[in-house]
Amino acid sequence: MIKPTPTRSPRYQRIKTYLLDGIRSRQFQPGHKIPPELELARVFGVSRMTVSKAIRDLTEAGVLLRFAGDGTYVAEAKVEAPLVDNEQDIAAEIVARGHAYRAEQLLLETVPAAEDVAARFGLRPGAPVCHLLLLHREDGLAMQLEERYFNPEWAADFASQDFTRQTPLAFIKRHCPLTSFEHSVSAVQPSPVEQRRLGIPCDEPCLLVLRRAWSYRRLVSFARLLHPGSRFTLHSQVSAG
């Protein structure tokens, strides 16, 4: 039986917390379905749209798998092959192609870490984390919408930077001894807000790259990188031998 925990947090966050707690406690096993959206909406006293937002966030984070007409399942643990050996700097890539690079800083703030964000960093919920939203353009055309979280324990002045003058990755590499990266790629349907920011039609899918960067065993930063499907192709080159 579903028993929501009383809290003053946003309604969709309450649902995310409930699902994450259920996964950690093994109430919801990997490969098994979570309760239907309509049931969660009824129990939590919210709209189905609110439930859908919570599930979409956890799906994009790789915690859940959503199948149209079937339901939503707890994701199995995966072993992911690296896309590239190192995180790429989008500004350097665009300039190397001989094109003009420009960034728009849409948001930069220090916020209390939500439970799922805190869990990734190994922090307590509510600990301060930096949240950045950045739009990267090539010859004026939107190529990437970057949402990044950064642990300010590594560099307290992250939240005071102007990332139209340097990329977040360039800043992080100067301040942190990065030792490993992880990438996962999926096709997603962007939200209406993301469509407007990227300047794409409502029926255009996007390529979503989730990237995490570590310094030894500690997570430094993770980013959600959204690319218009018609404007972006991923590639990797590996030497034989």
CATH code, domain carrying 65: 1.10.10.10
CA distance readout (Å), 29 to 76, 213, 226 = 9, 28, 29
Domain span at residue 52 reads 11-74
Q: Are 63 and 94 found together in one domain?
A: no
Query: How many domains would you assign to the chain?
Result: 2
Q: Are 97 and 168 found together in one domain?
A: yes
Q: Are 147 and 209 found together in one domain?
A: yes
Q: What is the pLDDT along the chain (241 residues), one digit of tens a residue?
A: 565 555 566 888 999 999 988 888 889 888 788 999 999 999 999 999 999 999 988 887 778 888 777 788 888 654 333 344 445 688 888 888 888 999 999 999 999 999 888 888 888 999 999 999 999 999 999 999 999 999 999 999 999 999 999 999 999 988 888 888 888 888 899 999 999 999 999 888 999 989 899 888 889 999 999 999 877 666 555 444 4
Coil vs helix vs strand at 11: helix
Kindly tell me the burial class for residue 140, based on how many C-beta atoms sit within 10 Å of its own C-beta (0-12, 13-18, 19 or more): exposed
The domain spanning residue 186 has which CATH number? 3.40.1410.10
Q: Are 120 and 69 found together in one domain?
A: no
- What pLDDT is stored for residue 191 in this prediction? 93
Cα gap 112→234, rounded to integer Å: 33
Coil vs helix vs strand at 235: coil
Which residues, in sequence order, are bridge partners of residue 213? 181, 221
Q: Are 59 and 178 found together in one domain?
A: no
Q: Is 154 inside any structural domain?
A: yes
- What pLDDT is stored for residue 86 in this prediction? 47
Q: Are 126 and 222 found together in one domain?
A: yes
Q: Are 224 and 147 found together in one domain?
A: yes
Sign of CA dihedral 81, 84, 89, 94: negative
- What pLDDT is stored for residue 57 in this prediction? 86
Q: Are 70 and 171 found together in one domain?
A: no
Q: Is 83 inside any structural domain?
A: no
First to last CA, the chain: 56
Say which residues have a Cβ less than 8 Å from residue 54's Cβ, sequence separation at least 6.
12, 13, 15, 16, 19
Q: Which two tokens stand for residue 21?
A: 């707690």
Other CB atoms within a 10 A radius of the CB of residue 126 amount to 12
